[in-house]
Amino acid sequence: MASLRPVLVATLGLAAVALLSGADQGGDAAPVPIDQGLAARGKPLYERFCISCHGPQGDGHGYAAQWLDPMPRDFTSGIFKCRSTPSGTLPTDADLMRTLRVGIYHTYMPPWAVLGDWNLRALAEYIKTFSPKWKEEAPGQPIAIPPSPPDDEASRKRGAVIWANNQCAKCHGAKGKGDGLSVPTLMDDWGHHITPFDFTSSDARKCGNTDTDLYRTFMTGVSGTPMPSFADSLKPEEAWDLVHFLHTLRQQE
Amino acid sequence: MKLRVLVVAAAALAVLLPGSAGAIPAFARKYNVACSTCHEAWPKLNDFGQLFRDNGYRMNRGKDNPVEQNGSYWPIAMRTTVGYQFAQQEGVAVAEPPGTTTTKTGTLGFAGLDILTAGALGEQMSWLLVYTPGLGSAGFGTGPADGDLESAFVGFHRLFGTPFLNIRVGKHAPDLPVDEHRILTLTQGYNIYHFHPQGSAATFEPGNNQAGVEIYGHTELDALRYSVSVATENDAIFSNNWLSSPVVWARVSGRLMLNNGLLPEIKGGIFGSAGWHPVQALTDPASGDPVSGTAYSNQPYQKFGADLHLLFFSTVNPLDITGVVMFGNEDQALITNGTRSAQWVGGFVEVNWVPTFNWAIVGRYEQIATTQAGDPTAVQNEGDLTAYTLAIRYTMEFSNRAAVTLVLEGSQVSTTTSGMQPKGSTVLAGIDFAF
């Protein structure tokens, strides 16, 4: 028994941390019931605009999916790349709406803003019907994003150190071109090969183009991909330093 | 009288030809989206498709330019309709016995063929070519004898970084209240786009593509649009001006999302044109024919109107009710024996019901009336027209590769000819497909 005590203490401690952190992230909050009326209005939108890629079951296996790289999102998993919520949690309605409005750059996901928020809100609700996760969990709480400190030389130098210490180059390459040594081994949660972002090529990123979008991506991760969340390892000011450092990669092109 | 019937028949034939351009499955293949992404019911564009077109055939997600495409992608599409068509025309003049008769033709065959290529060029350009080959062997008897480059333009988009300034140079479709090149019916077009008052010499028809320049712009999401086309009047003897036989077409339109389940969206616009057609020309000494480039004495004509579109119940599978009214005015010098200007008013009401993305039910009533004939001694309502069209379309294949639609359609048009109202009726059962 004595030998088990440290394990027990550690387990209870971890459980307490998980519960507390879960409470912070909204994971313990009651699930938000799906608005069936709204979802019903979203169904014809899905059938018209989404089904060819995401499939009738929402599993990302529409008839066009075989030609797409990256593959369309599998809604049945309840895993979404672009979120304001912590890693592992469901996105907010606003997150889903943002992706629907602006699309996902460098993919075949178009921007649907022209359909109007009235339609997109219904579409977002229908998308939730594909995964049981929405009935079991509440969306996560959006992370706080503090204002950016000055983007100066000192900040960029600190960011370079953070880039090195966190081994970002393993995936994104020494110059950020997305050609790191790990690239051949990188797979998403569905076993599809995935390519890290090339920070030198474009300002247009999958989850948004602004510095705030980039900060949010660092701190929430890109769920379903090898890109982790750095919320536990980076302080907010360090994440901003990293954002500022990435500006230098774009300038090196 | 025989000549008049022939003119009316020719005009009817031109309207009967299926609209060209329309759906372009090459885009569906390029972006791996279903046809229903851009078409409310193909070939009619929805809001997404209209914005895609306005953006120069771009989705702006880094996948538009030719260099982004697999080299095997070839941006070509084709469209035709095959099936059975029965046509009946009253009042056709015959020599023996002298008088008129009713013609009846039932034919198996196809109507029209469009070969299209379109896409984005570089960062800010686009192109569209539509070739309609000569179809002397067409079963419906409606195919043109000669091939034609129906559309040919290069577009320049987001000039100075703003969507408010785009230019298309070449043969393009004027911005119409309802695009005839994306019409849902095949046996009857929009007659107001092709109407001329009796005795008119002017040849401009906004339903036909125009060789010229279009300047257009729009807000980011097409809430407001404008378009101005400057062109040379189709089929006119070229006048000796810096821009021969000029015509200007303009339209301002908007759409408003009302965000309710009864009437979620309304659209509307105003449009108009002003053109100048020459009525004098120097002639060839041998043939006596007018010599192109010598015509003079340009005389004015105008068209103007308004349109309203009500989308009930849904913006994507709507009950879409459209009303268009157009007024026309032509200088007396353009009218044979004209002593006063010729004036007319026309319009149509069209109901499109799209209960699901693969069904479309279309009904249309159209009427054109002369309000003042240019020749006071002529039959005052000569050429006036009433038309009804009803169509049911079921799209059985709607993918990112092709669209195949079963069509059952009937139409009737009655055109005043020498004081009579002979009716022309057409029934079509066919398969409309594009690949």
Indicate if the pLDDT at residue B89 is higher than 70.
yes
Q: CB burial class (10 A; 0-12, 13-18, 19+) of residue A219? A: buried
Range of the domain at B190: 2-434
pLDDT tens digits, residue range A111-134? 999 999 999 999 999 999 999 999
- Amino acid at position B124, single letter: Q
The C-alpha atoms of residue B296 and residue B332 are separated, in whole angstroms, by 16
Among the partner-chain residues B220, B259, B400, the one whose CB lies closest to the CB of A118 is B259
Asked if residue B66 lies in contact with residue B120, where contact means CB atoms within 8 angstroms, the answer is yes
Say yes or no for a CB contact (<8 Å) between A106 and B314: no
Answer yes or no: is pLDDT of B382 > 70: yes
Express as a percent the part of chain A with pLDDT over 90: 64
Distance CA B321, CA A43 (A): 23
Under 8 Å CB-to-CB from B284, ≥6 apart: which residues?
A: B290, B291
pLDDT in tens, B195-232: 999 999 999 999 999 999 999 999 999 999 999 999 99
> A68 vs B32: CB contact, 8 Å cut-off?
yes
Q: Which of B31, B62, B399 sits opposite A204 (nearest CB)?
A: B62
pLDDT confidence of B251, banded at 50, 70, 90? Answer: very high
User: Looking up tokens 């339609």, which residue turns up?
Assistant: A119
Length of chain A counted residue by residue:
253
Note the pLDDT of residue B19. Answer: 43
pLDDT band for position A12 (50/70/90)?
very low
Prediction ipTM score? 0.87
Residue A177: partners with Cβ closer than 8 Å, 6 or more residues away: A198, A199, A200, A201
Query: Sorting pLDDT into bands at 50, 70 and 90, what band is B397?
Result: confident
* Residue A49 forms contact with B (CB below 8 Å): yes
- pLDDT tens digits along B22-36: 667 888 888 888 899
How confident is the model at residue B113, as a pLDDT? 85
| B61 contacts A110? CB cut-off 8 A | yes
| pLDDT average, residue stretch B158-174 | 96
Q: Taking the alpha carbons of A155, A156, A159, A161 in that order, is the dihedral positive or negative? A: negative
Q: Which of left, alpha, beta for B160 (phi over 0: left; psi -120 to 50: alpha)?
A: left
Q: What is the pLDDT of residue B144?
A: 64
Query: How many beta-carbon pairs below 8 A join chains A and B?
Result: 89
One-letter identity of residue A124? A
Amino acid at B342: A
Contact A49 B316 (CB under 8 A): yes
Could you tell me the CA-to-CA distances from B84 to A71, B9, B31, B103, B430 in Å, in that order? Answer: 43, 20, 34, 17, 6
Residue B114: count of CB within 10 angstroms of its CB:
23
Question: Looking at the 3D structure of chain B, how many domains does it have?
Answer: 1
Buried b (16+ CB within 10 A) or exposed e, A58-92: bbbbbbbbeebebbbbbbbbbbbbbbbbbbbbbbb
Do B315 and A107 lie within an 8 Å CB cutoff?
no
CB contact at 8 A, B223 and B400: no
What pLDDT is recorded for position B357? 87
pLDDT in tens, A74-101: 999 999 999 999 998 999 999 999 999 9
Say how far apart CA A20 and CA A26 lie, in whole Å: 10
- Position B349 confidence tier, pLDDT thresholds 50, 70, 90: very high
The DSSP bridge partners found for residue B77 are: B116
Name the average pLDDT for chain B: 90
Better-predicted residue by pLDDT, B140 or B104: B104
Domains in chain A, CATH or no CATH each: 36-136 (1.10.760.10), 153-251 (1.10.760.10)
Cβ of A108 and B33 within 8 Å? Answer: yes
The DSSP-derived string for chain A is -GGGHHHHHHHHHHHHHHHHHHHHHTTTSPPPPP-HHHHHHHHHHHHHHTHHHH-TTSSS--TTGGG-SSPPP-GGGT--SS-SSPTTSBPPHHHHHHHHHH--TTSS----GGG-HHHHHHHHHHHHTT-THHHH-PBPPPPP-PPPPP--HHHHHHHHHHHHHTTTHHHH-TTSSS--TTGGG-B-TTS-B-----TTT-S--TT-SSHHHHHHHHHH--TTSS----TTT--HHHHHHHHHHHHHHHHT-
Domain containing residue B97: CATH number? 2.40.160.10
Residues of B with CB under 8 A from a CB of A: 31-34, 36-37, 47-48, 51, 59-63, 220-222, 257, 259, 261, 264-265, 314-317, 356-357, 399-400
Which residue among B34, B61, B222 sits closest to A114, beta carbon to beta carbon? B222
Quote the pTM value: 0.88
Higher pLDDT, residue B207 or B139: B207
* Higher per-residue pLDDT: B359 or B235: B359
Residue B403: which residues within 8 A CB-CB, separation 6 or more?
A: B23, B25, B35, B42, B395, B397, B433, B434
Tell me, letter by letter, the H, E, C secondary structure of A193-212.
ECCCCCCCCCCCCCCCCCHH
> B-contacting residues of A 108-127, CB under 8 Å?
108-119
Cβ-defined contact of A109 to B61 (cutoff 8 Å):
yes
CA distance A216 to A237: 13
User: One-letter amino acid identity for B277?
Assistant: H
Phi, psi of B279 (to 5 degrees): -115, 0
Residues of B in contact with A113 (CB under 8 A): 220-221
Residue among B62, B222, B400 whose CB faces A105 most closely: B62
Mean pLDDT for the stretch of residues B55-61: 92
Contact between A211 and A150 (Cβ < 8 Å): no
Q: Is residue B329 pLDDT above 50, yes or no?
A: yes
The count of other CB atoms within 10 Å of the CB of residue B366 is 22
Distance, CA of B399 to CA of A52 (rounded, Å) = 7
Residue B282 neighbours by CB distance under 10 Å: 13
Euclidean distance between CA atoms B76 and B117, whole angstroms: 4
The pLDDT score that the predictor gives to residue B13 is 39
Instruction: Dump pLDDT digits (tens) for A29-61.
Output: 888 999 999 999 999 999 999 999 999 999 999
Pick from A48, A61, A106, A112 the residue to mutate for testing the B interface (most B CBs within 10 Å): A48
Average pLDDT over residues B137-152: 74
| CA distance linking residue A59 with residue A65, whole number of Å | 10
